[in-house]
Amino acid sequence: MRTAPRTAQLLVVLALFTATAGAVAGCGDESAGSATRPDNARARAVADAWDGSKAAEVWRRGYHPLGESVQLPEGAFRDGDDKRAYLTENLVLRGELPLGGGSEAGQVTWDSGGSLELPLMDAREAYDTLAGGGNDGPRLTVTGAKPGRMKLATSRGTATVPAWLFTIDGYDTPLRRVAVTPSKLPQPPIKPSPAGSDAELRPLDRLAEVADGGRSVTVHAHHGSCDDGPVVGALETDGSVVLSASVAGTRDGICTSDLRAKQVTVKLDRPVGDRILLDAFTGWPVPYGQTKGPSASGS
């Protein structure tokens, strides 16, 4: 269910952690960590609050992507310099971008039926999400853009969504960037876990992938320098999958103040389907691709 992964997202996450929690010593691209299946009281409370709630009804009517917002040109990348330019968002514009949102009126259409109208970002706004670098290293040159469409995995199944198709010098096919933002999340029907109420529970970072027909969920979870890594458990109900993150093997000793991230894969008893993936700690749906502060879904 995942489109072309964007490793730059993780680099930004780790950079933010460095500024707030000391030097980062872990890599979130490691498929490490472990999974358990605890039925803890907090997970049960979150499930009970969401299942059948007005918030769940609103969430299911919205557009919540489970795939990357960018699809690379065919054959990307030609060489290491192009890859580095993309990962560092070092793009340069050598042409004109269209004004306005084009003829595609922000309509998301699901393969299973149904559609939703959403605000459409213009070409400049979409370009700016890709070109935040501005360094002296290798660059990719954008020569133009036009409105189009692309397929994307969402919480309601595969959808066709508006996109901007950017022409990249040296590539025969365009780079596609989704031109709509996710729906705003409803106010959760439960508050975050009270401070000190569960010393073991940790907030999740973000959703990385839903695979294996929806039976495998991979998330980025945090841990420190004096433990054996993150552990994520799943409580499944008819309406939700509540993920509880903690760490294993905590121990005393000289510990640095870094914050490490690892991927943890949780196997489910049945496919996620239209069930809501929830974070037991926050009580919110688990964000997809969260890197630069609150996502549009959580704004």
Do 52 and 23 share a structural domain?
yes
Do 274 and 243 share a structural domain?
yes
Residue given tokens 């890594």 in the structure block: 229
- Enumerate long-range contacts of 98-107, CB under 8 Å, 24 or more apart: 98/122, 98/123, 98/145, 98/146, 98/147, 99/123, 101/147, 101/179, 102/146, 102/147, 102/162, 103/147, 104/147, 104/148, 104/149, 104/162, 104/179, 105/162, 106/162, 106/179, 106/180, 107/162
- Which range among 12-26, 126-140, 277-291 shows the weakest confidence by mean pLDDT? 12-26
Whether pLDDT at 45 is above 90: yes
> 234-263: per-residue pLDDT in tens?
999 999 999 999 887 666 666 655 667 778
pLDDT at 99: 82
Is residue 2 situated within a structural domain?
Answer: no
| DSSP letter (8 states) at residue 187 | P
pLDDT at 133: 82
pLDDT at 222: 75
Q: Which amino acid is at 13?
A: V
Contacts with 36 (C-beta within 8 Å, 6 or more apart), sequence order:
231, 232, 233
pLDDT at 1: 40
Structural domains counted in the chain: 2
pLDDT at 293: 31
Is residue 274 situated within a structural domain?
Answer: yes
Name the nearest CA neighbour of 286 among 198, 215, 217, 189. 217
Do 58 and 83 share a structural domain?
no
Domain containing 138 equals: 70-178
CB-based contact 175:204 (threshold 8 Å): no
Is residue 46 situated within a structural domain?
Answer: yes
Do 247 and 148 share a structural domain?
no
Is residue 1 situated within a structural domain?
Answer: no
CB-based contact 40:280 (threshold 8 Å): yes
pTM for this entry: 0.75
Q: Which of 178, 204, 220 is the last residue of a domain?
A: 178
Is residue 263 situated within a structural domain?
Answer: yes
| Other beta carbons less than 10 A from residue 94's beta carbon | 10
CB-based contact 224:255 (threshold 8 Å): yes
Whether pLDDT at 182 is above 50: yes
pLDDT confidence of 288, banded at 50, 70, 90? confident
pLDDT confidence of 5, banded at 50, 70, 90? very low
Do 162 and 222 share a structural domain?
no
Is residue 57 situated within a structural domain?
Answer: yes
Do 252 and 192 share a structural domain?
yes
Torsions phi, psi for 159 (to 5 deg)? -130, 155
Do 211 and 227 share a structural domain?
yes
Do 193 and 118 share a structural domain?
no
Do 57 and 190 share a structural domain?
yes
> 194-231: per-residue pLDDT in tens?
865 555 888 898 898 888 988 999 998 875 556 667 88
Do 252 and 157 share a structural domain?
no
- Enumerate long-range contacts of 9-14, CB under 8 Å, 24 or more apart: 9/289, 9/291, 10/220, 10/261, 10/291, 11/87, 12/291, 12/292, 13/205, 13/206, 13/220, 13/261, 13/290, 13/291, 14/261
| DSSP letter (8 states) at residue 65 | B
Torsions phi, psi for 92 (to 5 deg)? -130, 140
Residue given tokens 């630069």 in the structure block: 292
Is residue 260 situated within a structural domain?
Answer: yes
pLDDT at 254: 62
- C-alpha 4/C-alpha 72 separation (Å) is 7
Considering the chain, what percentage of its residues have pLDDT values greater than 70? Answer: 74
Is residue 264 situated within a structural domain?
Answer: yes
Q: Which of 178, 210, 230 is the last residue of a domain?
A: 178
Q: Which of 155, 178, 201 is the last residue of a domain?
A: 178
- C-alpha 26/C-alpha 118 separation (Å) is 37
